[in-house]
Amino acid sequence: MEDLKNEMKMEFLAASSNEGFARVAVGAFVAGLNPTVDELADIKTAVSEAVTNCIIHGYEQKGGHIWIQCSIEGNLVEISVMDTGMGISDIAQARAPMFTTKPELERSGMGFAFMEAFMDTVEVVSEPRKGTCVTMRKAIGEG
């Protein structure tokens, strides 16, 4: 049996052109677990939501860096997406479906709702003016 314990870290500029790169990179890392097409789409969508939040809300589209840390243990994938941006003062409100602080940008307020729908667990740790870390977990191959 192949030992399924693996880890990767990446750091990139908080630019919208890197959103595609980030979700594809995580998708490629997770591909070793042979996820279904749906499972892979779930993970890519969740990563895309978290990274977009860092860019639009964390850094308000003014640059900065984003860190992604990803590990695989057995069939469990854990993905952390972190920024050192403005942080979230009210996490419960931020997670509420349809809530957005940026309606003028036509944000739907569904980012966290999608992460929660597509992953098994979503944890948010944030401090105003320090940054935000979103950690998501998903078991692969359990339907």
Annotation says 49 is catalytic: yes
Annotation says 137 is catalytic: no
Minimum distance from CB of 2 to another protein (Å)? 29
Match 């880890």 to its residue by tokens: 7
Alpha-carbon distances of 72 from 77, 103, 138, rounded to whole Å: 5, 36, 10
49 vs 83 by CB, closer to another protein: 49
Q: What is d(CA 134, CA 83) in angstroms, rounded to the nearest whole number?
A: 9
Minimum distance from CB of 73 to another protein (Å)? 26
Minimal CA–CA distance to 41: which of 55, 24, 29? 24
Query: Where do contacts with another protein occur on this chain (CB under 8 A)?
Result: 16-17, 19-20, 23, 37-38, 41, 44-45, 48-49, 52, 55-56, 105-108, 110-111, 113-114, 117
Left (φ > 0), alpha (ψ -120 to 50) or beta: where does 123 sit? beta
76 vs 113 by CB, closer to another protein: 113
Annotation says 53 is catalytic: yes
Minimum distance from CB of 57 to another protein (Å)? 11
Three-class SS state of 106: coil
- Residues noted as catalytic: 49, 53, 107
